[in-house]
Structures are given as C-alpha cells and as structure tokens.
C-alpha cells in the first residue's frame, strides 16, 4: 500500500510556531524529491491541475512572489497575482471583502503577504480556501523558515545539537521568528547576535542565547543566518550609522577566517552588500544563499501539495461564519 504523510498540515500554513517537529519534517521530506522537477527539461507535473491559486501581495516582494508563482506553475495550478496598488485594495476595500470576492470566483488557495501581523490567520478563519502565509508584519514568514531549515538540513544533516546564530535585526524580523521556532523544534541550538536595540527584550524566553559580538557568534556557530538590515532602521534611530553597523556586526571574510570550523552563511535576501554582509562572503565558499533560493521553490511546492484540498475543520468553519 502507498505510505501516507502521517500527519497532515490541516487547512492553512500560518506559521511554524504551532507545527510539530513531525509536521515540519513531513514538509522537508516532501520538498526533497520535488527539487528534481525543477531540473527536468519539462519543469511541470500535473498534480494541481484545475486548482486556482491567488497570490495576494499587500507588500512589495520579488523573490517570494516569484518563488510561489514558480512553485504553483510547476504543479500545474492556475495562478493570479493581485498587488495592492492598482487594485480595489487601493480604493479602500477590506481584506475580507477582497478575499470573499475572490472566493465568489471559485478559487482554491490564497498566498498572502501583508504588513499587519496576524493578517494571514485573520483571513484563514474567514474563508474556505487554503491560506499560506507569505509574511505577515513582524510575526512569521513560515516558508522562508522552512527553506532555511531545508538548506541547513541538506548541508549539516540532522539538526539536533547543531548551532545556528541569527544575526542582525531580530526585533523586526518575521524570518527570525520563523527560524527560531523551526530550529528549536528540530532540536538545534539557537543564538541571536546584534545590537541590543534590535533584539526583542524578552528574547531569552524563546530559548535562545544572545551574543553581543559577531566574533563570539562566529566562534560558536555551525551556521549564521544573516538578516537584512532595513535601511529605515537607521533613520528611526536604532543604529548610529550603516558604516558603524558594518564595522561592529558585518560578516566579513577576515572574521570568518578565524572561525574554528566550516561555517555556513545564509541570508534571506535582498542583501545590503557592505552593510550586514560583505561581497566576498556573499559570493564566497561559505555562502549557501543561492541554494536557499532554489530550495524555496521546492519547499513552496511541498506546502501547496500538502495543503491542497484540505477542508476547514468544523471549529474554524464556525468561526468564519461568526
């Protein structure tokens, strides 16, 4: 008999916080074989033929939106992209009205990116379609977390006991949050490193170590996940200057040369070369940044495959009617 993916995901993927290690591993184990599809001459399988997926992006995104779109198309789904500018959203329509209108046109799945934390959950409780969170405010970005986990697992093997340090603006980063949840569930040791002004006050409660110096992080870690420093943070007074940030927290090849072991460098993109990461590191032998991008398509294909057709439970359907 055909083996089944023992624990299904349910209707939606909203974050990694509420997934079990087993559910995360099912997604990663499914993504592995799906990578091969993107290497074929005909990069397409008929799995989601007839399903309609709407990519609802209320925030600018290139990489994530294109990655989702490739994933959907390689599974033969029909896709529609809705951006906030140039749509009725800019005319003041609410999120729920937009989604209900889309559902009236008989869609099956919604991929949503929104500037408000919790937007994906809010939507998921109110519509029948499967909802995938593509980043909500400073809350979570689960598919980015999953692709980071897949990249680390491919390179390091079993993540139990492996040491991963997340560097930079953890405070505003949904990528950091999804990473911390996912990594700790899979048994990795997690640390963060950055200026205290960009670390959450209660970071210790998430079960992570804190390094104040990037040199300590490099000495300790098997891999660094270097976050993008959003330039508007400087204007808001979180850091004195970009140059100073680079001097104190920048990942440079001089600093990596002193690492006691082979260290992997991840970055969710888009990079600020010369700020949080130097060019020779980004393009150097430690970098797995482009593997992350490749894995992103496979992970999103896995999530689409595992969620497609899953119906809401009675409880969530009832909440939607309220």
Q: Is 5 in the site for another protein (CB under 8 A)?
A: yes
Q: Is 106 in the site for another protein (CB under 8 A)?
A: no
Of 38-46, 57-65, 206-214, 220-228, the window that binds another protein (rule: CB under 8 A) is: 38-46
Q: Is the peptide bond before 270 cis (omega within 30 degrees of 0)?
A: yes
Q: Is 45 in the site for another protein (CB under 8 A)?
A: yes
Pull the structure tokens for residue 310. 């899953």
Of 2-10, 119-127, 154-162, 199-207, the window that binds another protein (rule: CB under 8 A) is: 2-10
Q: CB–CB of 192/203 below 8 Å?
A: yes
Of 63-71, 77-85, 243-251, 300-308, the window that binds another protein (rule: CB under 8 A) is: 300-308
- In terms of Cα–Cα distance, which of 248, 221, 245 is closest to 233? 245
Length of the chain in residues, anyone? 322
Q: Which is nearer to another protein, 8 or 231 (CB)?
A: 8
- In terms of Cα–Cα distance, which of 131, 125, 142, 132 is closest to 313? 125
**Residue 101: strand, helix, or coil:** helix
Q: Which is nearer to another protein, 154 or 212 (CB)?
A: 154
- Residues 50 to 89 in contact with another protein, rule: CB under 8 A: 75
**Residue 135: strand, helix, or coil:** strand
What is the nearest approach in angstroms of another protein to the Cβ of residue 49? 10
CA 180 to chain centroid, in Å, comes to 11
**CA dist 10 to 18, 34, 69, 74, 185, Å?**
12, 20, 22, 22, 19
Q: Which is nearer to another protein, 42 or 104 (CB)?
A: 42
Tell me which of 18, 40, 273, 319 binds another protein, using CB under 8 A: 40
Applying CB under 8 A, which residues contact another protein? 2-6, 8, 29-30, 32-34, 36-37, 40-42, 44-47, 75, 302, 305-306, 308-309
């Amino acid at each position: 008999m055909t083996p089944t993916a023992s624990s299904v995901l349910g209707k939606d993927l909203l974050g990694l916080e509420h997934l079990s290690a087993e559910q995360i591993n099912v997604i990663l184990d499914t993504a592995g074989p799906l990578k091969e599809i993107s290497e074929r001459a005909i990069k397409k399988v008929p799995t989601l033929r007839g399903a309609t997926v709407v990519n609802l992006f209320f925030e600018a995104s290139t990489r994530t939106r294109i990655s989702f779109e490739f994933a959907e198309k390689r599974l033969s789904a029909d896709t529609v992209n809705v951006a906030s500018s140039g749509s009725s959203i800019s005319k003041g329509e609410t999120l729920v009205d937009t989604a209900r209108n889309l559902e009236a046109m008989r869609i099956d799945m919604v991929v949503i990116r929104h500037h408000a934390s919790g937007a994906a959950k809010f939507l998921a409780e109110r519509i029948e379609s499967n909802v995938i969170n593509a980043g909500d405010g400073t809350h979570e970005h689960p598919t980015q977390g999953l692709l980071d986990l897949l990249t680390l697992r491919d390179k390091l093997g079993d993540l139990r006991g492996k040491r991963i340090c997340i560097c930079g603006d953890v405070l505003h980063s949904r990528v950091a949050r999804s990473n911390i949840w996912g990594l700790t569930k899979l048994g990795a040791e997690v640390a963060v490193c950055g200026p205290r002004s960009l670390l959450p006050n209660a970071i210790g409660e998430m079960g992570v170590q804190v390094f104040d110096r990037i040199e300590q992080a490099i000495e300790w870690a098997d891999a660094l996940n270097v976050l993008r420093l959003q330039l508007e943070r400087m204007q808001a007074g979180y850091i004195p200057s970009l140059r100073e940030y680079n001097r104190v927290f920048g990942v440079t090849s001089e600093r990596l040369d002193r690492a006691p072991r082979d260290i992997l460098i991840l970055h969710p993109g888009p990079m600020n070369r010369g700020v949080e990461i130097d060019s020779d590191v980004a393009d150097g032998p430690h970098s797995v940044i482009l593997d992350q991008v490749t894995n992103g398509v496979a992970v999103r294909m896995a999530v689409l495959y595992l969620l497609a057709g899953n119906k809401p439970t009675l409880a969530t359907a009832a909440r939607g009617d309220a």
